[in-house]
């Protein structure tokens, strides 16, 4: 009896680095291991980001919107970019949790980001195996990226280059970013990957930089 060969599924998410190279999905999923990790990371990060963006809504010197038409001095009493992000996040999380609840016959979570993300936690493998797994991961990743641009536009992450970590299916598909702490900023400086779990504090940068310089040309070849 000749056994039929079953090729592994291909990851359905978008990849910023080398986007035309197919990545094999993890067993039973429609996401590669790196994107499955990224999905988990996005869901874990969104509640805190939601709270930070929400804090941008009150009027103030750093968060007020553009001046009202006909006046050079009176700003809008809210941050439009924060409002847009909150509205989009409310829509996207409601849609994703609704899909999970309906298709799995469950009662969905309350309509707030912290409850929705906590509720999604046990269903991440189901999302990663879904036919729309790529869309779920990409939508949540876009929300995370946009949140940082709302919270601190002057401290946007700086592009470093493609990640060099090796995952189960080969080189990580992610991109490395660096954020640098400014004076008085309580948040730490960090180099991190937007897909895998790589995160480095400044004490680790020098050693990693030497490894990065040696490894990147080899991966490119």
Report which of residues 93 and 203 the model is more confident about: 93
* Phi then psi dihedrals of residue 199, to 5 deg: -150, 125
Express as a percent the part of the chain with pLDDT over 70.
78
* Phi then psi dihedrals of residue 56, to 5 deg: -85, -5
Q: Is residue 2 pLDDT above 50, yes or no? A: no
Report which of residues 195 and 97 the model is more confident about: 97
Q: Is residue 161 pLDDT above 90, yes or no? A: no
Please report, for the chain, the start and end positions of each structural domain, with discontinuous segments joined by +: 33-220
Report which of residues 17 and 48 the model is more confident about: 48
Mean pLDDT confidence for 117-121: 97
Residue 30, pLDDT score: 95
Mean pLDDT confidence for 125-140: 95
Mean pLDDT confidence for 165-174: 78
Distance CA 191, CA 163 (A): 11
Instruction: Give 149-159 pLDDT, tens digit per residue.
Output: 788 765 667 78
Residue 59, pLDDT score: 45
HSE-CB for 64 with a 13 A CA cutoff = 11
pLDDT grade for 48, boundaries at 50, 70 and 90:
very high
Distance CA 178, CA 39 (A): 20
Report which of residues 4 and 54 the model is more confident about: 54
Q: Which helix (H) or strand (E) segment is 192 a member of?
A: strand 190-193
Residue 202, pLDDT score: 84
Q: Which distant-in-sequence residues (6+ apart) come within 8 Å of 58 by Cβ? A: 77, 78
Residue 178, pLDDT score: 84
Handedness of CA 119, 125, 131, 136 (dihedral sign): positive
For the chain, the average pLDDT equals 80
Instruction: Give 57-84 pLDDT, tens digit per residue.
Output: 764 433 334 333 344 444 445 578 888 9
pTM of the model: 0.67
Bridge partners of 44?
Answer: none
Nearest-5° angle of CA 13, CA 15, CA 20? Answer: 105
Q: Which distant-in-sequence residues (6+ apart) come within 8 Å of 201 by Cβ? A: 188, 189, 190
Residue 87, pLDDT score: 93
pLDDT grade for 96, boundaries at 50, 70 and 90:
very high
30: which DSSP letter? S
Residue 173, pLDDT score: 78
Nearest-5° angle of CA 172, CA 158, CA 207? Answer: 60
């Amino acid at each position: 009896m000749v056994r039929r060969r079953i090729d592994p599924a291909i990851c359905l998410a978008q990849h910023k680095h080398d986007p035309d190279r197919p990545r094999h999905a993890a067993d039973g999923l429609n996401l590669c291991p790196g994107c499955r990790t990224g999905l988990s990371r996005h869901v874990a990060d969104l509640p805190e980001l939601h709270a930070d963006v929400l804090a941008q809504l009150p009027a103030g010197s750093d968060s007020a919107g553009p001046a009202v038409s006909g006046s050079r001095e009176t700003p809008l009493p809210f941050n439009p970019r924060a409002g847009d992000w909150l509205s989009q996040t409310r829509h996207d999380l409601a849609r994703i949790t609704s899909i999970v609840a309906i298709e799995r016959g469950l009662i969905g979570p309350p309509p707030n980001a912290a409850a929705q993300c906590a509720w999604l936690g046990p269903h991440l493998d189901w999302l990663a195996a879904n036919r729309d797994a790529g869309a779920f991961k990409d939508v949540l990743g876009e929300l995370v990226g946009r949140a940082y641009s709302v919270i601190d536009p002057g401290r946007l992450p700086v592009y470093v280059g493609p990640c060099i970590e090796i995952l189960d299916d080969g080189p990580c598909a992610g991109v490395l970013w660096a954020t640098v702490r400014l004076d008085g900023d309580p948040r730490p400086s960090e180099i991190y990957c937007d897909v895998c779990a790589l995160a480095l504090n400044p004490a680790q940068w020098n050693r990693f930089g030497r490894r990065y310089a040696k490894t990147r040309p080899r991966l490119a070849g």
